Amino acid sequence: MSHGSDDQSVNFSGNTSFQDVLSSAVENRGRRNIIKGGLGFAALTALPGLAITSKAVAQNVPAALAFPSVAKSLLDEVVLPPGYSFSILHASGDPIDPSVPAYTNAGLEVDDWSHRIGDHHDGMDIYYIDESGRYSQAATSRAVLCVNHESSADSHFLHPTGQTSNGQSRKKFDQFGAWDLGTRPELEVLKEINLHGVSVVELHKTERGFSYKLDSKLNRRITAQTPMRIAGAAEHLADIRKMMRTAFDPSGTTSRGTLNNCGHGKTPWGTYITCEENWARYFQIASGSNPGDANHTASLKRYGVASAPMDPKATKAFGQGWHTVSESDTRFTRWNLAVLASDPSGDFRNEAYTFGYNVEIDPLNPAAAPVKRVSMGRFAHEAAVCGVPVAGKPLAFYMGCDSVNEYIYKFVSKALWDPKDVGGGLAIGDKYLNEGVLYVARFDADGTGKWLELSFNQPEIANFSKYQFANQADVWINARLAADAVGATPMDRPEWGAVNHANGEIYFALTNNNIASRTPAKVNAANPRSYADTDGRKAMGNPNGHIIRFREAAGLSTAATFAWDIFLFGAEDDLGSANLSGLTAANDFSSPDGLWFSKATGICWIQTDDGAMTDESNCMMLAAIPGTVGDGGRRTVENRVTIAGVEQVGTQETFIGAALGEARLKRFLVAPRGSEVTGVTETADGKTLFVNIQHPGEKTPALGEAAQFKLESSWPGSIGYGKPGRPRSATIVITKDDGGLIGL
């Protein structure tokens, strides 16, 4: 989803790294600022991180990409290389229960979304099962597919005439990303609540390819009001529950629902992790009501939650207006965070503390309540990537927080990996994901980095001036603030992470950043670019994003340090000197988001959610053959932008991977208009790839808003899937016509 809100930083920590020190020594020569970023050159030559021993690279590195790169496209179609085909598995609104009628694609008149595929398909994964329905690590003829729905209540295609309020159609967002819908109709809000969450369907393979079984007992919808269990380290569980007390559950043991499920993770024991990303925008504190004490409101502000009462410039509140439906029905009052009662058990002041987690789901047990894993931290979770598991060693999960200037985190389990735990469901999740240590990354200018522990025992956290932590539970629940306190490196919006199974290296997409955050004075070694794209659609800062990667010291999940470099810089081919990876018209891309390595082929798949070069091409998916951290070298980035007539220039030292060229980086897919490409998984044989197309036609005005309403996209109805007309998010299934491996 394009999140207008992500462009506004709520990181007020002032954390940067060395460039702040240096910028204080900047010479201001009239209208020209000369800035030298990075460390001194003597320090750079040492490169201790790059001397870290690399494990031998395993065999599964592809030799070449055996397809011609697809040209950029503005068509309302899925474009693939010759010799590849796709079909549609499911689209928003398809029934997952035989009692539910086919989707009309005209805006439902009843709320039965909890029996239909949700909206805004995103992260996903596949789980094989044996004949008795148990998890299987080996490929079988049965499988289920879990799909996240990064749904938005901006659901103008999902109501008969768009969202309404007081009989009027949806009004536009104001400049703060807030909207005013007045008092919302109950039916619309129920539909919006239930189109969020996760869909689980059993796959069904026929001669014509994959479909899903409409009548499978494994089909399931998890929505924004599905009951969930709150879990965390036993020693701190009472403190966790204290912060989760609400009128729904005064004990703080359970909560309702999951929101904005973006990236995902697959655990080594065979469960699904769905990551809650932009949950902050669903809440409101009615103007003039009590928002809570200063510490509580500092937390709300740092998470961008219900910021209207705290932002004097904002005239309207954030939120979807879900709280306006009723003053007594807690399905709706829960979205109002105002302090209304004498005690948290009498209102929903704590409701926002019940969102922002990795949520573990057992895809094979529809009766098992999903679990919120509090010890993995609370932030705008973008994916939970498990490093290569090693028997007898702790597991590490790598996680991004997607917002401007946010951080990359690592959770290291206390329990040591035991392969016998495969198939054990959520009880095994309790073993590995409750007890452990949460870290945040600091990327240093010498090409190394450090994992900084987020512990209440750290003096920087216990004595932090901007927020008073009560205990370790508070550190996990306010992880962003704890990360501020220890000096984590603010990144260019961390999106998905991925693990290169061949060598254990971890990759992260840093989708983009704006000019307010990345001037030549505000870059750092790991986020080194500040430039202007002056061609076609214009932008400044780091509008095209980059992909960073790192290797843990000695390859250990428990490493305290790592070595990093930048795998790829996004760019338009004609960007000039800021096109640091030498992209051409055959492989240029912007705003990497989804990122995933195929176990079958070793290909690194890169998916985009772009708004910077969409005048030249719709969003896309590329295939890359990666090398290893340190296979390139040091680079001096020349930064230059002109802001309000003042030219600012500077240099920043960084480390960049070896150029891939047109042979090792190719565009594989271009998506329909207005969509992003996100979510990818494969069958174990590498011959079928599942890919999600999210929100085609996103920029189309709300239905009913304009008589001259014209669809930007009408995919996939336009290719004969379901009723024609309105665009729908969908999972597509890609195969090679000769039955071979995808991409090779």
662 binds, among Ca ion, ligand FEO, none (CB under 5 to 8 A by kind): none
DSSP letter for each residue of 3-34: -GGGGS----S----HHHHHHTT-EEETTEEE
325 binds, among ligand FEO, Ca ion, none (CB under 5 to 8 A by kind): none
Question: Which residues, 6+ apart, have CB-to-CB distance to 313 below 8 Å?
Answer: 176
Taking CB under 5 A as the binding criterion, the range among 237-245, 473-481, 520-528, 573-581 that sits at the site for Ca ion is 573-581
Cβ nearer to ligand FEO, comparing 400 with 716: 400
536 binds, among Ca ion, ligand FEO, none (CB under 5 to 8 A by kind): Ca ion
Closest approach, Cβ 688 to Ca ion, in A, equals 23
**Using an 8 Å Cβ cutoff, are 216 and 202 in contact?**
yes
Cβ nearer to Ca ion, comparing 19 with 261: 261
Closest approach, Cβ 299 to ligand FEO, in A, equals 21
Cβ nearer to Ca ion, comparing 122 with 362: 122
Taking CB under 5 A as the binding criterion, the range among 75-83, 210-218, 453-461, 531-539 that sits at the site for Ca ion is 531-539
Burial of residue 607 (CB within 10 Å: 0-12, 13-18, 19+) is buried
Q: How many CB atoms lie within 10 A of CB 554?
A: 12
Long-range contacts of 309-316 (CB under 8 A, 24+ apart): 309/285, 311/176, 313/176, 314/174, 314/176, 314/178, 315/174, 315/178, 316/174, 316/176, 316/178, 316/179, 316/180
Backbone phi, psi, residue 724, to 5°: -70, 165
Sign for the pseudo-dihedral over CA of 696, 699, 705, 710:
negative
Residue 435, interface with Ca ion (CB under 5 A)?
no
**Residue from 239, 347, 533, 565 in contact with Ca ion (CB under 5 A):** 533
Query: Phi/psi class of residue 260: alpha, beta or left (left: φ > 0; alpha: ψ in -120 to 50)?
Result: left
588 binds, among ligand FEO, Ca ion, none (CB under 5 to 8 A by kind): none
Residue 419, interface with Ca ion (CB under 5 A)?
no
Cβ nearer to Ca ion, comparing 333 with 591: 591
Site for Ca ion in 586-625 (CB under 5 A): 593
Cβ nearer to ligand FEO, comparing 383 with 441: 383
Residue 576, interface with Ca ion (CB under 5 A)?
no
Cβ nearer to Ca ion, comparing 276 with 446: 276
The token duo for 367 is: 């009766």
Cβ nearer to Ca ion, comparing 311 with 535: 535
277 binds, among ligand FEO, Ca ion, none (CB under 5 to 8 A by kind): ligand FEO
Question: Which residues, 6+ apart, have CB-to-CB distance to 252 below 8 Å?
Answer: 230, 240, 241, 242, 243, 244, 245, 246, 350
**Using an 8 Å Cβ cutoff, are 419 and 565 in contact?**
no
Cβ nearer to ligand FEO, comparing 388 with 509: 509
638 binds, among ligand FEO, Ca ion, none (CB under 5 to 8 A by kind): none
Question: Which residues, 6+ apart, have CB-to-CB distance to 105 below 8 Å?
Answer: 93, 717, 722, 723, 724, 725, 726, 728
160 binds, among ligand FEO, Ca ion, none (CB under 5 to 8 A by kind): none
**b vs e for 43-59, b when ≥16 Cβ sit within 10 Å of the residue's Cβ?**
ebeebebbebebeeeee
Q: To 5 degrees, how large is the angle CA 630–CA 604–CA 713?
A: 135
153 binds, among ligand FEO, Ca ion, none (CB under 5 to 8 A by kind): none
Closest approach, Cβ 611 to ligand FEO, in A, equals 12
Closest approach, Cβ 281 to ligand FEO, in A, equals 12
Residue facing Ca ion at closest CB distance? 572
Residue ranges binding ligand FEO (CB under 6 A): 1, 150, 262, 277, 382, 402, 495, 593
Cβ nearer to ligand FEO, comparing 434 with 694: 694
Residue 202, interface with Ca ion (CB under 5 A)?
no
Q: How far apart are CA 488 and CA 508, in angstroms?
A: 16
Query: Phi/psi class of residue 548: alpha, beta or left (left: φ > 0; alpha: ψ in -120 to 50)?
Result: beta
Closest approach, Cβ 3 to Ca ion, in A, equals 9
Cβ nearer to Ca ion, comparing 475 with 613: 613
Terminus-to-terminus CA distance in the chain, angstroms? 30
Site for Ca ion in 251-280 (CB under 5 A): 262
572 binds, among Ca ion, ligand FEO, none (CB under 5 to 8 A by kind): Ca ion
Closest approach, Cβ 223 to ligand FEO, in A, equals 18
Cβ nearer to Ca ion, comparing 276 with 593: 593
Cβ nearer to ligand FEO, comparing 1 with 259: 1
**b vs e for 646-677, b when ≥16 Cβ sit within 10 Å of the residue's Cβ?**
eebebbbbbbbbbebeeebbbbbbbbbbbbbb
150 binds, among ligand FEO, Ca ion, none (CB under 5 to 8 A by kind): ligand FEO
Closest approach, Cβ 81 to ligand FEO, in A, equals 26
Q: How far apart are CA 661 and CA 104, in angstroms?
A: 46
Closest approach, Cβ 84 to Ca ion, in A, equals 24
Residue 186, interface with Ca ion (CB under 5 A)?
no
The token duo for 557 is: 């999940």
Closest approach, Cβ 137 to ligand FEO, in A, equals 29
14 binds, among Ca ion, ligand FEO, none (CB under 5 to 8 A by kind): none
Closest approach, Cβ 7 to ligand FEO, in A, equals 12
The token duo for 497 is: 């992470």
Helices (H), 478-542: 479-486
Closest approach, Cβ 158 to ligand FEO, in A, equals 19
Closest approach, Cβ 445 to ligand FEO, in A, equals 27
Cβ nearer to ligand FEO, comparing 324 with 358: 358
Q: How many residues bind Ca ion (CB under 5 A)?
A: 9
Cβ nearer to ligand FEO, comparing 148 with 530: 148
> Distance of alpha carbon 317 from its chain centroid, rounded?
24
**DSSP annotation of 643:** E
574 binds, among ligand FEO, Ca ion, none (CB under 5 to 8 A by kind): Ca ion
Helices (H), 125-279: 186-194, 237-243
Cβ nearer to ligand FEO, comparing 117 with 262: 262
Site for Ca ion in 534-553 (CB under 5 A): 535-537
Cβ nearer to ligand FEO, comparing 1 with 193: 1
CA distances 221 to 110, 197, 459, Å, are 17, 7, 44
**Using an 8 Å Cβ cutoff, are 32 and 647 in contact?**
yes
Closest approach, Cβ 1 to ligand FEO, in A, equals 6
Pairing of strands 84-91, 730-736: antiparallel
Closest approach, Cβ 651 to ligand FEO, in A, equals 30
**b vs e for 485-514, b when ≥16 Cβ sit within 10 Å of the residue's Cβ?**
bbebbbbbbbbbbbbbbbbbbbbbbbbbbb
Per-residue x/- mask for Ca ion, residues 482 to 511, rule CB under 5 A? -------------x----------------
533 binds, among Ca ion, ligand FEO, none (CB under 5 to 8 A by kind): Ca ion
**Using an 8 Å Cβ cutoff, are 480 and 379 in contact?**
yes
Burial of residue 710 (CB within 10 Å: 0-12, 13-18, 19+) is exposed
Closest approach, Cβ 572 to ligand FEO, in A, equals 22
Closest approach, Cβ 603 to ligand FEO, in A, equals 22
Write out the H or E segment, with its range, that includes residue 364. Answer: none
Q: How far apart are CA 407 and CA 404, in angstroms?
A: 9
Backbone phi, psi, residue 25, to 5°: -105, 15
Helices (H), 179-246: 186-194, 237-243
User: Under the rule (CB under 5 A), what is the footprint of Ca ion?
Assistant: 262, 495, 533, 535-537, 572, 574, 593
